[in-house]
Amino acid sequence: MVYESVKAHDGTDIRVARFEPTGKPIGVVQIIHGFGEGIAHYVATAEFFAKNGFACIVHDQRGFGEMPHLSQKAKQKARGVVPGYEYFLEDIRTLHTIINVWYPTVPKILYGHSMGGNITINYLLKNGGYDKAILESPWLRLYKPLPRFAASLAGQIGRLSSNLTINAKVEIDHISRDQDIRTSRRTDGIYHMRMSLRLYAEVVKAGENAIRNADKLLLPTLLLCPGADKIVCPEAIREFSEGSGENVVFIEYPDGYHCLHADTISAEVLNAMLEFCMG
């Protein structure tokens, strides 16, 4: 693993990790992580792809990840704060351009988990450049969304400032059935549940946009649904699948928890991803 620093469109430094196979890559998997996460939570997944011939690129999304350049006080203030949802999309566009320079001739696969799945869909609805997509437990709707009045209020307040935040009530025990993963998330100092009201409202809106436009996602896509998810809504993922075309391969893991790639069935899930990438 090698860390890179990439300049975003607004001059912000994007922290990027590159995982490379021993030989020439047969493809590139670009991972877009979920809410509260960062590069560190995808090391095992990225190493899996690298061992199987793929380069893997993961970046810390704005407001998330390790933020090693900030003091602890500044880090707490920056968590979950993003100027706007569109900045996520712009950062993918920036990295896509650079990945094409690093790996100009191999297939590119965009893989998003949870909030990253929401972002991946909305990016691909507006932009091309990728050969395949993997959507793991995409946040299209929450399992327990805010009441409609509270969600509307969050949107109104969020428009005033991107710095007004709430703490999401996400139970770590709902992330994975693997006790080691649960313990790690509680103690790694990276995982957090802070989100700006603006970002919450924009992600919710983007989730509905994804569902409405499922039939417009045209590239080969693997859609993975954890049937026992209590963080995002499995029914919304099924609705997206039903609205999509034959290019979307839908796999549901009835007992799976939110982080399928880090659940007790991770080997089965990762092998399904690999088979899709190589097919």
pLDDT tens digits for range 141-161: 999 877 675 566 666 766 766
Range of the domain at 109: 2-278
* Per-residue confidence (pLDDT) for residue 160, from 0 to 100: 62
Does residue 167 carry a pLDDT above 90?
A: no
Q: Rounded distance, CA 18 to CA 120, Å? A: 19
Give percent above pLDDT 70 in the chain. Answer: 95
pLDDT at 153: 65
pLDDT of residue 253: 98
Query: Which position has the higher pLDDT, 146 or 172?
Result: 172
Q: How many domains does the chain have?
A: 1
| 194, 151 contact by CB (below 8 A) | no
The per-residue pLDDT of the chain, averaged, comes to 94
CA distances from 154 to 116, 151, 252 (A): 21, 5, 32
Helical axes 148-160 vs 197-212, angle rounded to 10°: 120
pLDDT of residue 168: 80
* Model confidence band, residue 106 (pLDDT cutoffs 50, 70, 90): very high
At residue 150, the pLDDT reads 59
The set of residues, in sequence order, having a beta carbon less than 8 Å from that of 251 and lying 6+ positions away, is 222, 223, 224, 225, 272
Q: Check whether 6 has a pLDDT greater than 60.
A: yes
CATH number for the domain harbouring residue 91? 3.40.50.1820
Residue 76 scores a pLDDT above 60: yes
* Interatomic CA distance for residues 68 and 162, integer angstroms: 22
Rg value, the chain, Cα: 17
Rounded CA-CA distance 243/253 in Å is: 20
Rounded Cα–Cα distance for residues 279 and 172 (Å): 34
Average pLDDT of the residues in 116-128: 97
Closest CA to 250 of 242, 258, 262, 260: 242
pTM of the predicted model, to two decimals? 0.95
What average pLDDT does range 111-121 have in this prediction? 98
Q: What is the pLDDT of residues 207-251, one digit of tens each?
A: 999 999 999 999 999 999 999 999 999 999 999 999 999 999 999
Task: Average the pLDDT over 16-29 and give the result.
Answer: 97
For residues 138 and 58, the answer to whether their CB atoms sit within 8 Å is no
CB-based contacts of 101, cutoff 8 Å, min separation 6: none
pLDDT of 29 > 60? The answer is yes
pLDDT in tens, 55-68: 999 999 999 999 98
The reported pLDDT for the residue numbered 169 is 78
How many residues appear in the chain?
Answer: 279
